[in-house]
Amino acid sequence: MGTYALTGAASGIGASLAALLREQGHEVINVDLRDADINADLASAAGRQAAIAGVRERAPGGLDGLIPLAGVGGGGPPGTLITAVNYFGTVEVVAGLRELVSRKQGAIVLLCSNSAPMSSPEDPLITSLLEGDEVAALKIAAEHDNGMHYMAGKRALAYWMRRNTMAYARDGIRMNAVAPGPVDTPMTRPLYDNPEMAEVMRHLIDNTPLGRAGQPREIARAINFLLGPESSYVCGSVLYVDGGYDAHVRSDHI
């Protein structure tokens, strides 16, 4: 059986994936803010390094998979926190554990979003993210808190994944991403208490062909597929797991 490291495994999609992997007999190393194998705050550089060091200590032989799911939802938290956790908390942990995944020719699956195309590719925040300039990115996020930081960060994360696919594959690592639509998790439920965000959520559901939000287990199964041998020739892809929203709303956008 394999060894997998997850961030954000305390609830939602992460908890479902951790349970699924354990059902299959795998060892799972959880990284989260609290009540995890490794408690670390991925909003800070020190927390990211603590997470990397903790995983290295627990998996000296390498990782069969790395799934950085820790994130902050839009519609409430400040853009600086969203930017620090969702983007830098992902790419720095991935870079820091790359060698461990390479040892076992493993797979990495990132968590993007079907909302990413709602942002503009010309957004200066995306440029600073892809340049790895956290100081500049946080400055932009603080000065232009326009509610688009979540989408921009997810677009940048998809770009980062695709730009690094070749280099990681040369290390024996398949890297892909899933792009869920609305998912029924503890992070999204409070959005329905905010009149403005509740309207947005209703709009998303109304434009989802399957007519409902996804369940964490459904996203976990898609991630599990990308981690396993059944997806051995899938590399550098963003898999939409959104009930058909992207196909309906962006029918001619491929």
**DSSP 8-class letter at 183:** B
The H or E element spanning position 28 is strand 27-32
Distance from C-alpha of 207 to C-alpha of 216, rounded to nearest angstrom:
20
Q: 2 with 65: CB under 8 angstroms?
A: yes
Number of Cβ within a 10 Å radius of residue 26: 17
CA dist., res. 130 & res. 194, Å (int): 32
Q: What are residue 80's phi and psi, to 5 degrees?
A: -65, -40
Secondary structure letter of residue 209 according to DSSP = T
- Strands 65-68 and 38-39 turn out to be unpaired
Which of the following is catalytic: 4, 87, 150, 240? 150
4 is catalytic: no
Q: At what angle do helices 89-103 and 149-163 cross, to 10 degrees?
A: 30
The strands making up 107-111's β-sheet, listed across from edge to edge, are 38-39, 27-32, 3-7, 65-68, 107-111, 174-180, 238-241
Burial class (CB in 10 A: 0-12, 13-18, 19+), 61: exposed
Task: Quote the CA–CA distance of 233 and 199 in Å, as a whole number.
Answer: 40
**Residues with catalytic annotation?**
150
